[in-house]
Each structure stands twice: as structure tokens, then as C-alpha cells.
Amino acid sequence: EAQVTQNPRYLITVTGKKLTVTCSQNMNHEYMSWYRQDPGLGLRQIYYSMNVEVTDKGDVPEGYKVSRKEKRNFPLILESPSPNQTSLYFCASRQTGQGQPQHFGDGTRLSIL
Amino acid sequence: AQKVTQAQTEISVVEKEDVTLDCVYETRDTTYYLFWYKQPPSGELVFLIRRNSFDEQNEISGRYSWNFQKSTSSFNFTITASQVVDSAVYFCALSEAGWGGANSKLTFGKGITLSVRP
């Protein structure tokens, strides 16, 4: 089954404790992206990757890092999480080409205390 | 800069009513793509439909239909004979063409919470 898999689905942690949210897709997509969803703000892009070793900032990259060492994986790293990073996070991937729909993982709900 | 406005924030209807979700967009590109996504209470984001800026033909898929009008920059979504399972947050999104190495990110509206009561 074609899917985007995120782990963990839920995480409660404390300020300053480094964490990584993993994302993996099995569709051989070149493009991957991370979004965060906050009440009243909708979804906003954090980082994206056009291909292996090619990453760039989205609209709200502060406090986050990403890496793309393999095509299928695109982890999101919070080196020193803060409470304002409490949010629902989505990883997405899509085929190369204009206008291809992005397919989303099931989301990761992070709470930073 | 691109922008998507979903002016309705919450809509509540009784089962079997028809309901229309509005979406207005702004972009300076002549080539762009519009999407609708559904987020049920379980939280995942489900892709519903994509339209490109050159195709204004309206589309019907079962109880769902979409009305794309470039003249008013709108891409509205109608659910006919709504059902309780349609209860969800619905997002309209816009992507510019994204030539070469461009991001072509999705710009989302803030979403419309639809509640369908039995």
C-alpha cells in the first residue's frame, strides 16, 4: 500500500530535549515536505526537499532541521524544542511534475512542556 | 504571493442537507493548481481533488461537486445530501506551477469545520 509513515504519532516531552520525528514514503517520490498545523493558522510549510541531499526552508523553518540522505526518508529534527513548537506535524510527498497532489502522513502531535 | 481564503470557519447542517464550502484564492501566476483536502476527526489529511488553472470544467464525483470560476478566483465545493461521515475539516489549497527546481508548495486556507448532525 502506497503510504507516508510518520513516527511517533504522539509525543509529550520537555523543553530542550532533542527529538526527531521520522518520515518515510514507499512511493519513490522525489519531493518531500514538512508542515505544521496550528489552530487558526492552518498548515504552514517548515522545510521541503526536492531530492536526496537537496533541502530548503519553507515559511516557518526556525527551530527545525531536516536531512535527506535517502530518497524514502525525511526526518524532522528539533534540536532544542520549545513550547511554541507544540503543534500537529505532517510529512508529505508527491511525484515530480507540476501540480501533483501531495500525499500526507497521519500526523504527529507534539507537546513540548 | 499566493493566498487562500476560506471565509466560513464552521458550518453545521442536518443530515441530507446540501452544503457548499467556499474558497477564494489569490495568485499572480497564470498557471496554478487548486486542491481540496479533508481532515476527519481522526486527524489525517485526505486528498480529494485537484484542478489546474486551464481547466474550468466543473466536476462531479458521487455526492461531491466542485465549481471552479477563474473570473471570481473561486473554487467551491458542494456536498449533496450530506452524511454524518462528512463531518470533518475541509481545506482548500493552492500551488503555483513550480518550474525547474521551484518548491511549488501548498498554501492552505485555514479550513472549514463541517458538522453534520443526524
CA dihedral of residues B104, B106, A6, A86 (deg, nearest 10)? 120
Report, as an integer, the average pLDDT of B55-66.
86
How far is B49 from B37, CA to CA, in rounded Å?
A: 7
Nearest to B108 among A33, A42, A107 (CB): A42
**Of the candidates A76, A7, A28, which has an alpha carbon nearest to the alpha carbon of residue A48?**
A76
Q: Please say whether the beta carbons of A47 and B96 come within 8 A.
A: no
Angstroms from A56 CA to nearest CA on chain B: 9
- Cis before residue B118, ω within 30 degrees of 0? no
Q: pLDDT per residue over A23-54, tens digit each?
A: 999 999 999 999 999 988 889 999 999 999 99
- For residue range B75-90, list pLDDT tens digits in order: 999 999 999 999 999 9
Q: CA-CA distance, B33 to B73, in Å (whole number)? A: 12
Q: If interface means Cβ-Cβ distance under 8 Å, which residues of chain A face chain B?
A: 33, 35, 40-45, 48, 50, 54, 56, 58-59, 88, 90, 92, 98-99, 101-107, 109
Rounded Cα gap, residues A17 and A33, in angstroms = 23
pLDDT surpasses 80 at B52 = yes
Provide, as residue numbers in chain A, all residues whose Cβ is less than 8 Å from the Cβ of B104. Answer: 98-99
